[in-house]
Amino acid sequence: MENKIKVVSTNKYANFNYTLLEKFTAGMVLKGSEIKSIRQNGIILNESFILITKDGVVLKNSHVKPYQTINNFSPKPDRDRFLLLNKNEILKLKQKTEQKGLTIVPVKAFFSGRYLKLEIALAQGKKLYNKKETIKERDIMLDTKRQLKGY
């Protein structure tokens, strides 16, 4: 049985605004027709973030578009969703986020086989000058690709 990976959504701002230190893979608790909507690229992670509460690890501010063909039960698009992690991973993330300047951000949502997974990362915020360096590096890479193609 192969685990084919299909990326559904990526957080474009995660690499730009943060330095990603360590990555984890978590499952998501979904309700109703959310999985069908996500299969149609119906999840937005751009402004979402992750909190560790006494109940567990929670994905906040993510948006799952309502599934179009079902009107029976569609949960709120912006509701909080619980993430599934091992106890050791939760404790490690909790200890690290208590340090100053570290946070947890979602990086991408993907299907591994038939299960939805969320790649999350322990991240440190970038300063303005680091963001400018990232933009310069990206522009240099684009210019070299254009020169190699002959444009």
* In-domain check, residue 138: no
* In-domain check, residue 51: yes
Give pLDDT, residue 72: 60
* In-domain check, residue 81: yes
Give pLDDT, residue 70: 57
As a whole number, mean pLDDT of residues 41-70 equals 84
Distance CA 57, CA 101 (A): 19
* pLDDT over threshold 90, residue 107: yes
* In-domain check, residue 106: yes
| Least confident window among 3-17, 37-51, 59-73, 100-114 | 59-73
The answer to whether 107 touches 1, Cβ cutoff 8 Å, is: no
Q: Which residues pair with 7 in a beta bridge?
A: 110
Domain count, the chain: 1
* In-domain check, residue 146: no
Range(s) of the domain holding residue 70: 5-126
As a whole number, mean pLDDT of residues 58-84 equals 79
Provide the pLDDT confidence category of residue 71 given band limits of 50, 70 and 90. low
* pLDDT over threshold 90, residue 106: yes
* In-domain check, residue 131: no
Q: Which of the 8 DSSP states describes residue 96? A: H
Provide the pLDDT confidence category of residue 67 given band limits of 50, 70 and 90. confident
As a whole number, mean pLDDT of residues 24-36 equals 86
- Alpha-carbon dihedral 65, 68, 72, 78, rounded to 10 degrees: 10
* In-domain check, residue 70: yes
* In-domain check, residue 86: yes
Mean pLDDT of the chain: 85
CATH code of the domain containing 38: 2.40.280.10
